[in-house]
Amino acid sequence: MTDGTVTLVGAGPGDAGLLTLRGLRALEAADVIVADRLGARAVLDQLAADGVALTAEVIDVGKTPGHHPVPQNEINALLVRHARAGREVVRLKGGDPFVLGRGREEALYCEAEGIAVRVVPGVTSAVSVPAVAGIPLTHRGVATAFTVASAHDPIEQLPGGSDHTVVLLMGIGTLGHTAGILARGARGADCPVAIIEDGYGSGERVTVGSLGTIAALAAERRVRNPAVVVVGDVVRLSSSWPSGATHRSLSERSEMKGPAAPRSLSDRSETKGPTAPRSLSDRSETKGPTAPRSLSERSETKGPDRPRSSDRKTLQP
């Protein structure tokens, strides 16, 4: 029997509108889909809700932080076993398979077993999740470079000052430690920070502060994974950053009054409610670079059956 192939597909951050067309074609052609939890599972569910019929058997090997239902070596073996049986296997991974995703490890394992591997890149959460808060990773005159890092790696070695954007994945558990280290370096305690939780998901929420305040804010707001942490001056460009604010504490900002005063963070960081799946066309709407809508506006466009998350906000002005 001729071996099948393994195709690593990046599912993007969890919104089917951000799956690539090539990725969709690979899913449609697959006999078996070996799917991660984060990003991948949500995309499969949205495709089904949108009437995209996938005939493949779906094997969920999803991991939650600190909990690994299917160990990596078993995932590798699973891919090879199905390909050896002549099946077209898609390994569907959140974001981009090659960004902190062990994609090349899986590909090397399959190749060493003689299985042909293809790669379909995905939209990484490192770039796309900051975008939901209107944060560009580079911006002329503000930042010309960025570093994407796992917060599990040595943070001391990250280069640059606040004009060099740092994007931390898997960064919530160690946030206090990480922020402390970065604050002691060239960035300083006033350097802006944003945390974007569950980008494109029902729990999407943005918290902004500084390296000096972010750990306390995150604890107060019970910030949870999955989340992307962005550190640097670009955070001031966020639709969630209080206009005219510099590095005031949250309570100072919340006390501002009057029409010109920025809305409190809690106003801005509404959590989306549980989802009626939107259509693909809704999901893949293009946002203009010059006029990002606020999170609250975006939440309000998601349909009447989404409870307004201001019900669930944890900070009061």
* List of residues contacting ligand SAM (CB under 6 A): 13-14, 38-39, 94-96, 99-101, 124-126, 129, 169-170, 196, 198-201, 225-228
Single-letter code of the amino acid located at 46: Q
Tokens found for residue 102? 């062990």
- Other CB atoms within a 10 A radius of the CB of residue 141 amount to 7
Distance CA 37, CA 253 (A): 37
The distance of closest approach from Cβ of residue 186 to ligand SAM in the complex, given in angstroms and rounded to an integer, is 24
Residue with smaller CB distance to ligand SAM, 72 or 249: 72
Catalytic-role residue among 15, 93, 163, 170: 170
As beta bridge partners, residue 288 has none
Catalytic-role residue among 36, 96, 198, 233: 36
Decide if 193 contacts 229 (C-beta within 8 A). yes
The distance of closest approach from Cβ of residue 116 to ligand SAM in the complex, given in angstroms and rounded to an integer, is 22
Does the annotation mark 287 as catalytic? no
Residue with smaller CB distance to ligand SAM, 127 or 183: 127
The distance of closest approach from Cβ of residue 246 to ligand SAM in the complex, given in angstroms and rounded to an integer, is 27
Residue with smaller CB distance to ligand SAM, 136 or 226: 226
CA angle 258, 262, 268 (to 5 degrees): 125
- Other CB atoms within a 10 A radius of the CB of residue 311 amount to 9
Residue with smaller CB distance to ligand SAM, 3 or 45: 45
Distance CA 315, CA 37 (A): 30
- Other CB atoms within a 10 A radius of the CB of residue 230 amount to 27
Number of alpha carbons in the 13 Å side-chain half-sphere of residue 201: 24
- Position of tokens 């501002």? 256
The distance of closest approach from Cβ of residue 251 to ligand SAM in the complex, given in angstroms and rounded to an integer, is 26
Nearest residue to ligand SAM, by Cβ distance, number only: 95
Distance CA 231, CA 149 (A): 11
Catalytic-role residue among 63, 256, 267, 302: 63
The distance of closest approach from Cβ of residue 65 to ligand SAM in the complex, given in angstroms and rounded to an integer, is 7
Give the 3-state secondary structure of residue 299: helix
Residue with smaller CB distance to ligand SAM, 87 or 168: 168
Does the annotation mark 63 as catalytic? yes
Q: Angle, to 10 degrees, between the axis of helix 42-49 and the axis of helix 21-29?
A: 80
Tokens found for residue 181? 């280290």
The distance of closest approach from Cβ of residue 200 to ligand SAM in the complex, given in angstroms and rounded to an integer, is 5
Residue with smaller CB distance to ligand SAM, 124 or 299: 124
Catalytic residues: 36, 63, 170
